[in-house]
Chain A
Amino acid sequence: MKKKIALLLAAVMLATGVTGCGIVTVVKIGQEGTLTGETEFDSSQQSGQDWEQVVAEITENAKDLKEVEGDIGSDAVAVSGTAVIKEWNHEQAVKTYIVLDGYENEVVIQTGSVYTGTAVRDLQTLKKFSDFKNQTEWSEYAKSLNKESDSQIVQPLGLSDDVNGKEITFVGGAVKKAGKITITVVSAQIN
């Protein structure tokens, strides 16, 4: 019996040793997460997956901007509306925006290429801060949602000076800072 146990033990030790020497799992560079379970954070992948639900939620909660513009402050509010485009301002190539007519406040829709703020992220409930590792990831998620707005909504509008004077129908997240309401759209159509 003792002999058998000793042999078994030796076999186990040998097997362990061999595993250490040669029989190992080879993981390709960049695919370590398949073994460790830890994958590199990809905010654009998450925003891409979530975009449709985010749009649906903001659209469902949106209120007519004319009715709520007086209540908008630094916290994001879901808004919708139809308004005449006073001007598409592209003096700064990287920070362009549409100026809307017909509101009591100065109201603009940001049209990139740089987008500011976290209104879209802050209006969705699909994900929350604690779902992310840290503030930077949470912030990257906001920026990626803004990029979805750019690629899926703003770019297809094909903006040019021809839009001045036309009507736009929009849904988005709005915040007011320094007396100006800035909207990041989740849907928009130039009529």
Chain B
Amino acid sequence: MKKVFAGVLAGVLACSAFSGMVMADELLPGGGSNVIYVITPSTSNPYFKTVQDQATAKGEELGYEVKCVSHDDDAAKQLELFEAAANDHAAAIICDNAGADASIEAVQAAYDAGIPTFLVDREINQEGLAVAQLVADNAQGAQEIAEAWVEAMGFEGKYAELLGLESDTNCQVRSENFHSIIDEYPDFEMVAQQSANWDQTEAYEKTESILQSNPEITGIICGNDTMACGAVQACIDAGRDDIKIIGVDGSDEAAAYIKSGNMVGTALQQIALITTTAVEEADAYLKGTAPEEEKQLIPCVAITAENVDNLSAFVYTEGGAETEAE
């Protein structure tokens, strides 16, 4: 009896120790093909199209075949795409994911299949599954553009906020960090806060209704440029060219509004840089070198009228705009 118990105990201990060994310092081999999968939200948003375009350009430059697909922010569809990539023996996956918690299952599936995943733009709420999580420093970016907005507002005024998809980590981080600056000033008052779910049309409609119910506002802060551009259009149509608007992303459409004076600024997420870095890290990983850190922050750049000429296609170049990297 004692012998049996001791045997079971030894087995359990050995199992625990063995599990620990498997998890540590082992590179995933990839699926065996030369294909990199790029999985993003819908490319109807130019931001995500940039992810696919940059990943394709860099991947092909490094000698890979690159396949791009969209999960449309649907976690179930994302899981299917990860499984399809595994069935296609993908060497690696570059993914702009469909939610911090909802995406864990998909990344786990790739991990279990031995395929390394490199997350760009959005984090997931678990470490140790993705090889890298390269994200824009949304906190820093939101704070910096909020500082510019506070000054443009003359340090006071009533304003509204358009939130993104509330389940998205970036929505919370940006909003929290807008407020970490604005709320320090006693003469600001937020009179409306609504979600427009990252969507331009919804942002237009919400702004239209906010302007009717709160005509005294002089500013609108937006969680992304898509919503900011919707808000700008609604303000133009309502004859309100006095409203100070900011967004986050650094899109060309926002840049055009900054140049025309309809927007104060945006926080550029250097998504082109983030994406090419992810592909380079995937290439290095497949050749045996893992990145030093899983979580990597890429700083945002606050874009205002003073430096907007340096921005083009999500690429910021000190000293003048250049064409997007190929």
Contact = CB atoms under 8 A, between A and B. Distances in A.
A81 interface: no
Contacts, number: 57
A7 B140 CA distance: 64
B184 interface: yes
Contact of B155 (A73, A92, A142, A177): A92
Contact of A116 (B147, B172, B176, B297): B147
A129 B297 contact: yes
For this complex, into which size category does the number of interface residues on chain B fall? Answer: 20 to 34
B103 to A, nearest CB: 15
Contact of B135 (A118, A135, A177): A135
Given A94-B184, A143-B180, A135 B293 contact: no
Contacts of B304: 178
Given A95-B155, A116-B147, A139-B143, A130 B293 contact: yes
Contact of B139 (A114, A117, A139): A139
A183 B177 CA distance: 21
B181 A114 contact: yes
Nearest to B151: A95
A138 interface: yes
A138 B181 contact: no
Interface of A: 73-74, 92, 94-95, 113-114, 116-118, 128-130, 134-136, 138-140, 142-143, 177-178
Please list the 9 inter-chain residue pairs (A to B) with the smallest Cβ-Cβ separation, ordered nearest first: A139-B139, A135-B139, A114-B184, A116-B147, A178-B306, A130-B295, A129-B297, A130-B293, A135-B173
21 contacts: A73-B318, A74-B299, A74-B301, A94-B155, A114-B181, A114-B184, A114-B185, A117-B144, A129-B295, A129-B296, A130-B294, A130-B295, A135-B140, A136-B173, A138-B139, A138-B297, A139-B143, A139-B180, A142-B140, A143-B180, A178-B304
